[in-house]
Amino acid sequence: MSIDPKIRERAEKWLNGSIDEESKNAIRNMMENDPNELAESFYCDLEFGTGGLRGIMGVGTNRMNKYTVGMATQGLANYLKSVYGEKEEIRVAIAYDCRNNSSYFARIASEVLSANGILVFLFEELRPTPELSFAVRYLHCHSGIVITASHNPKEYNGYKVYWNDGAQLVPPHDKNVIIEAQKITSFEQVNFNGDNEKINLIGELIDTAYLETMASYTLAPDVIARHRDLKIVYTPIHGTGITLVPKGLKQFGFNNIHIVEAQSTPDGNFPTVKSPNPEETAAMEMALAMAKNLQADLILATDPDADRIGVGVKDLDGNYILLNGNQTAALLTYYLIKQWEAKGKLTGKEFIVKTIVTSELISDIAKKSGVEYFDVLTGFKWIAAVIRDLEGKKTFIGGGEESYGYMVGDFVRDKDAVVSSCIFAECAAWAADKGITLYQMLIDMYVEFGLFKEKLVNVVRKGMSGQAEIKAMMDNYRSNPPKEIAGCKVAKVADYLLQKTTDLIAGTTTPIDLPKSDVLQFFLEDGSKISVRPSGTEPKIKFYFSIKSNLANAGDFKAEDAKLEKKAEEIIVAMGLR
């Protein structure tokens, strides 16, 4: 196979530059033996998106390596200096997860920032992403970086940037950092000569402050005291959660915690799973087996950087099942609001936030209790933006999204699986105090608010061709939206890129008051909702399906749930996804 001249030119630019010899040898090997890999590695620059970088590790412009990380960091340093100038010493906190090269990339970022005169607070060992968010505010930093690819496969790593409120970048800083990063067109422009005098190692002090702050968010210490022996199985899936989740559960008062030992040691190769994603049953098999053996009350799992949580419970037949992200979010929201009500803490100035692709059950729960709710685009940076806008005016109770990320209180400004694990265990204790299981509590919610069934279908399209195929799919849905799906008319189409909703029945349009985003939603006449969006972090296009029916009583749950399952599958098949 011949090598595209443009790709060869990009590769040779690296070969002729000042990169290390090992990287040069890797490029030569691809030129001689693997032109396909050479093309994937050099056909474009690894994009510095609104959240930072994420990509496969390796040599090349389209890979996570010392040079792409260095260039991104130089761009960030230049932007921070343009914003703050000489007014004050700029401070940046840096954390990293268990992935291969994470500590190395964190050190590279520290060296580039310090070489630019910026004071760095670097965690001495791996830590959860939410602790980085906490540290930014606790240490009065201007920015933060965490090296992680969240729950992506082991080949990936990433680089997320935070602003001074501990949240991921939002306008105008996201676009402005991208502009500065794009100005760094060569690693020759990067100052890699770090100043160790400006790099401070942090760790236990931040752990203690984080755990103490988190413990203040408990809502039912008396209930926990009565159910401190709640049997909990926990797995960090080889990730950072092991550093804080067990400590957090104990600090809340739980003392019967069983850790999946085979998955307790941090390991970027994730040897016991194909993918370290608590959304996937395969990643939870060991925890499920342990729970069955112990007859546990609750299963908790966290992803590699401990910002997402997976939850397992017993169903009505005593079998262990995994809750989906919408169910977990709804249970957490219901519990938080009910406790705030019981304690007389609702004053009319409280609010919750969810994303547009997350279950409407959450907004229904909030509305019934008179709690204001906000819908935002996918991504916790938008949830954090609402918190920032309302700071000092209203109180944030909690929020979340269907992709297994949740936040309780505002001491962290990103999804936090540590506090979510603790509050969810408290919720399980609250249910036990009422003589019911979490699953029964979920069904009772369905009786009160309606039975919601949500499904997610991911269509993976990797590499150069995959990127083009995903774009073509979105273009086609946008220019030729379906008029009916599975025999049901499409009543409305919401296009978040064009920022308008079109009522196909009335023939009217209304504006969408949210930032532009490549998302489409189809609302069927029967109330079903289908959302379509390319993933911002993985090579896939995501389809979200939500349908609803009334549930007269708990005894009808199985039959009604089976009906909705069938209906959801009919819609998925009709869209050509099965």
| Catalytic annotation, residues | 150
CA contacts within 13 A on the Cβ side of 27: 24
Give the span between the Cα atoms of 266 and 305, in whole angstroms.
Answer: 10
Q: Report how far apart, in Å, the C-alpha atoms of 103 and of each of 95, 96, 190, 292 are.
A: 8, 6, 19, 36
Give the span between the Cα atoms of 146 and 95, in whole angstroms.
Answer: 5
Q: What is the 3-state secondary structure (H, E, C) of 229-257?
A: CCCEEEECCCCHHHHCHHHHHHHHCCCCE
- Residue pair 339/365 in contact by the 8 Å Cβ criterion: no
- Which residues touch 30 (CB under 8 Å, ≥6 apart)? 11, 37, 38, 41, 59
Residue 454, helix vs strand vs coil: strand
Nearest to 217 by CA among 276, 98, 325, 134: 134
Residue 44, helix vs strand vs coil: coil
Q: Are strands 119-123 and 91-96 parallel, antiparallel or unpaired?
A: parallel
Give the span between the Cα atoms of 403 and 357, in whole angstroms.
Answer: 9
DSSP state of 168: B
- Residue pair 169/161 in contact by the 8 Å Cβ criterion: yes
Give the span between the Cα atoms of 12 and 6, in whole angstroms.
Answer: 10
